[in-house]
Amino acid sequence: MRLWNSYPKWPWKHDDDIRKYVDVPDWWLVGYEEVRGFLRGLTKAQFSSVGKSAGGRDLSVVYYGPEKPERTLCVTGGTHGTETEGIASVTNIIKLFESGADLRGKKWPAFQRVAKRVGFYLMPLYNPDASARSPVKSYVGMPIDLKDHSDGVHHLHIGFWKNGQLPNRKRIFAPWSKDSDMTGKLDRVGYLGQRFNDAGRLINRPRSRKKSMAVETMQMLKYLGANKIDCYMDLHSHSSPPWLGTCPEAHHAGDYEQQSKLFDLACKMTQKSGGPELEKGWQGATSWYNSHFFPANLGIYAFTYEAMAGFKGNYPAKTPFEEIWLANAYNGMYTILGLAQALLKVPSPWK
C-alpha cells in the first residue's frame, strides 16, 4: 500500500485554501477512514468483498435485502474519488437500511418497502485508493473555470506532474490507450488524480470489450457474475443537472429493449418518488466505461448517474451550501430508489 502526499505544493490559481473542503456536514459521510469505520460498526449488513484494490485496500460490499430477492441492484460510489456525492448517497442508504433513518434522521418508507423485494449490493468506495489520497471531501463552493481545462477542480481530478503541469487531458478523457494510464510514470507524478487507482490505472476506462487494466474492474466483473446481479449503477458528478446515462446497443449483450424500458421506467419512478426530473443520456460506442463493460460481458442492465456537483457556477450564487449537499445526496438516493422500483417491472437478465 502506498501512502501519497495529499498536500503537495498545489498549483491552485485561486485565493482559496483547498484545505477547507474537508469541512462538511456530519451526515455527509464520505472520507475514506470514516466510511471504513462506519462499515465496521454495521450489525445488520451482510458483508462481502469484490477483492483488493491495486493499493491493497479491501473492495467491501454490504448487502441489504431479502434472502431470496426478486431482483438485485449493485450501486457503486467513489469511482472517481473526489466525486463524493455518490459516496454520500450510498452511506445514507446504508444507514437507512441499518437503522430505519438516514444519517440526517430522515425516513424513507418507500425505500424500506422496495428493499423487501430487491436486494441491494452497496459499495460506497469503488476506488478506495483514490478516496484514501483525496485531500477534499466536497466540491461545494469550490472555484472552477469550467472553460479553462487547467483550472481548479481539474487538478484534483486528473492530478499533476511534479512541475505542476496537468497531464494530457485529451489523452486521459479519450478512449483508453497505453498513454492514458499513469503506470510507469508514477515517479514523475506530483499528485495522482482521482481517476486512477494506486497503480496509475484509469478506473473507469476499460481498454476493450474483454479487458480492463484496472484490477478493481476485472474483479467486479467476476463478482457481478458470481452473484448474478441484475443491474449495476455507477455514481459520478459533474456539471449537468441530475443525469442518467445508458450504454449504446453495441455495448450491450443482453436484451436492449428491456434495458431501454428500464431506463424510461427508472426516470419516471424517480420523479414519482419525489426525486428530480432526470436528464437522459445515451452514451456513444467510441469509449468503454464500466457501465458498458459489465453489460457487454454479462448482458445485465447498467447505468451511470451524474449528480450536479457543487462547484461554483453550477448553482445560483446565493444557494446555501446545505441545500447543495442535500440535493447532491438525495437526488442520487431518489434515483437509486426509482431504479430499484423499476427493476421489478422488467425480467431478470439471468432468466
Contacts with Zn ion by CB under 5 A lie at 80, 83, 236
| Residues linked to residue 19 through DSSP beta bridges, in sequence order | none
Rounded Cα gap, residues 338 and 280, in angstroms: 14
Minimum distance from residue 271 beta carbon to Zn ion (Å): 23
Cα–Cα distance measured from residue 105 to residue 102, given in angstroms and rounded to the nearest whole number: 5
CB-nearest residue to Zn ion: 236
Closest CA relative to residue 214, chosen from 312, 324, 321, 294: 294
Nearer to Zn ion, 281 or 299 (CB): 281
Phi then psi dihedrals of residue 3, to 5 deg: -100, 120
Q: Which is nearer to Zn ion, 336 or 343 (CB)?
A: 336
What type of residue is 236?
H
Closest distance to Zn ion from the beta carbon of 86 (Å): 9
Strand, helix or coil at 47?
strand
To Zn ion, the closest distance from the beta carbon of 92 in angstroms equals 19
Burial environment of residue 67 by CB neighbours within 10 A (0 to 12, 13 to 18, 19 or more)? exposed
Shortest distance (Å) from residue 80 CB to Zn ion = 4
The tally of CA atoms less than 13 A away on the side-chain side of residue 295 is 30
Whose Cβ is closer to Zn ion: residue 45's or residue 75's?
75
Element (H, E) at 232: strand 231-238
Closer to Zn ion at the Cβ: 108 or 289? 289
Q: How far is the CB of 327 from Zn ion (least distance, A)?
A: 18
**Dihedral angle sign, alpha carbons of residues 98, 25, 309, 216:** negative
Least CB distance to Zn ion at residue 159 (A): 14
Nearer to Zn ion, 80 or 137 (CB): 80
Is 57 or 80 the residue whose CB approaches Zn ion more closely? Answer: 80
